A and B are shown apart, each in its own frame.
Chain A
Amino acid sequence: MSRSAWSDHSWQLIHTAPQSPALHMALDEVLTDEVAAGHRMPTLRVWEWAAPAIVIGRFQSLRNEVDSVAARRHGIEVVRRISGGGAMFIEPGNTITYSIYAPLSLVEDLSFQEAYALMDAWVIEALADLGIKAWYQPLNDIASEAGKIAGAAQARRGNAVLHHVTMAYDIDAAKMLEVLRIGREKLSDKGTASAAKRVDPLRSQTGLPREAVIARMIETFRSRHGLHLDLIRSNEMEQAEALVKRKFAHQAWTAEVP
């Protein structure tokens, strides 16, 4: 297999109604597998959140990362995703999250660093268009002069690669520190979370509503790679809902690394 270019693929866009955290986890697994199987064309999915969530990485320890009592008090659902990386604290409207489901050929023979840089090059351009000088910061961050903007994670499944990213639009840092157990050595990674009440690199640096930032990002992707409006198919949604019931809503999965 030789490496494919973005332009070799017909990119689809899914940007639909808000979904529950567990359904988002399941959709990532299902849509990656659908691309791997050749049932779905490569796709960009922009997430909308129906409820607050803590999303922990595939290999993170639930009790080491999350203060479950505080999370319950705030009504925050804790879910585990299928990719590695660190914990994210999400409230609807506070982050911008997207997934790219791509054929493995797009990152064939690339190092992990090269693959991360490739998958987010369009976002770096979109941020530049919005007046933010940002760059890919290995291993898996997007950074700006005002600090970390986003964290990325990839997972390879069969003939596809999942690349998903959460960007901080306007995060309640005080609440984040209540529900996530962030060690002192990790705090430096999270911008100025220890001192600031909010971590809002996208809101403060663009002065734009979240929806406008998303619209600009989608337009940048469209102009670079082409993009066709698509929907989650009914059989994909059925698979995802079944996967929520079987896996993502269960403590056996969420506490799989206790």
Chain B
Amino acid sequence: MHGEYKMPGGKLVVIDLEIHAGRLQQVQLSGDFFLEPDSALHTINAALEGQPATANEAALANAIQASLAADVLMYGISPEAIAVAVRRALHEGADA
């Protein structure tokens, strides 16, 4: 499943994922945003992996925020924007 969200004043945030047994699997964040250090991409993917498919935006954003070290820098992307892209991917799946 695939969800995209152009963060207002930011960049394009894209999520691809699968659902197995009601949980997010094979979560892949991508887009034309800026993230330092670049290893934070994997940290965010890992934080979303296994989250319940019923999790709301706030819960997803909190899970992402909690996983990130204090020195991670985001430009054109935010935990909240990623959460919107996840919900859009899940919504697309529900419509399909």
The residues of A with any CB-CB pair to B shorter than 8 Å are 57-61, 64, 82-87, 112, 138-140, 153-156, 183, 185-186, 257-258
Contact = CB atoms under 8 A, between A and B. Distances in A.
B22 interface: no
A60 B32 contact: yes
Contacts, number: 62
Interface residues of B, number: 22
Interface string B41-55: 100000000000000
B35 to A, nearest CB: 6
Contacts of A58: 35, 38
Given A59-B30, A61-B28, A183-B4, A257 B41 contact: yes
Given A139-B11, A185-B6, A186-B12, A57 B38 contact: no
- B interface secondary structure, majority: strand
B30 A64 contact: yes
A58 B33 CA distance: 9
Contacts of B92: none
Contact of A257 (B6, B28, B34, B76): B28
A156 B35 CA distance: 10
Contacts of B10: 139
Interface in B65-86: 73, 75-76
Interface string B15-28: 01000000000001
A57 B32 contact: yes
Highest count of chain A CB atoms <10 Å: which of B12, B32, B33, B73: B32
A59 B11 CA distance: 12
7 contacts: A59-B30, A59-B31, A60-B31, A60-B32, A86-B32, A87-B32, A112-B34
